Amino acid sequence: LALLAFSYRTAMAWAQTSGDSSPSGLRRYRDMFIARERHMDAELSTWRATLPADARVVVLGHNLHLARRSERLRFGRAPHDLEMWPSLGTLLDRAEPGSTYVVWLLYERGTRLAPQPSGGCEARVETAADHLEHAIAGDRPVFLPLDRAPSGSVVDRPIAFGTETSEGSGPIRPSVDAVVILPEASAAGPRP
């Protein structure tokens, strides 16, 4: 019941801020994401406490949630971008340094789920030409381990990435071990 109540509060906060690209709207998004990240960390910590000490855990999540050293990244779109909060990946890495291998799953275009100002939850998205996804995507899925990316490449530059409410920027190499970029992806749900 507590999880349901938290999810409801998060969805309402998200819906109230949806479509507000002003500096105050972005700060409200950031506050909502900080609360959500802390909640995810608490839930994961409670669950991990039930596991054997040598258990290995795989955490699947969205890019910004899994970023290690997230304080090196920015949240939102310039010029109103803000400092990133400590992500779940950052909190995990702080608790057990060197224990995380972070893979971001990104896509260049498709659909995503998030409350929309017009109602509904699904939106069509396409990343801008100045985004990481656009710079790396091709006609087929791309797997790029960052230890193989040349020094000074796009992953070392302060480039934008993500879509709308999960948009950020910064050099991703310190925060990510590999990226998978799909040309197109669709939000989960029934299809005609």
- pLDDT tens, position by position, 129-139: 888 988 888 88
Residue 192 lies in a domain: no
Domain that holds residue 40: 2-185
User: pTM of whole model > 0.75?
Assistant: yes
What's the mean pLDDT in 98-103?
A: 88
Q: CA-to-CA distance for 190 and 151, rounded, in angstroms? A: 42
Length of the chain: 192
In a domain? residue 62? yes
Residue 186 has pLDDT above 70, yes or no: yes
Please indicate, yes or no, if residue 166 is contained in any of the structural domains.
yes
Residue 151 has a pLDDT of 96
State pLDDT tens for residues 19-28: 666 777 778 8
Per-residue pLDDT tens over the stretch 46-86? 988 998 988 888 887 777 888 999 999 998 887 778 888 89
Q: Establish if 56 belongs to a structural domain.
A: yes
pLDDT at 16 over 80: no
Tell me if 191 is assigned to some domain: no
87 touches 62 (CB < 8 A): no
Residue 15 sits in a domain whose CATH number is 3.40.1660
Residue 190 lies in a domain: no
The tally of domains found in the chain comes to 1
Q: Detail the DSSP E strand segments found in 41-177.
A: 74-75, 82-83, 103-113, 122-126, 142-145, 159-161, 168-170
105 within some domain = yes
In a domain, 115, yes or no: yes
Bridge-based pairing of strands 103-113 and 178-185 is parallel
Q: Give 123-129's long-range contacts (Cβ < 8 A, gap of 24+).
A: 123/164, 125/163, 125/164, 127/161, 127/162, 127/163, 128/160
80: CB partners within 8 A, 6+ apart: 21, 22, 23, 26
Per-residue confidence band for 115, with pLDDT thresholds at 50, 70 and 90: low
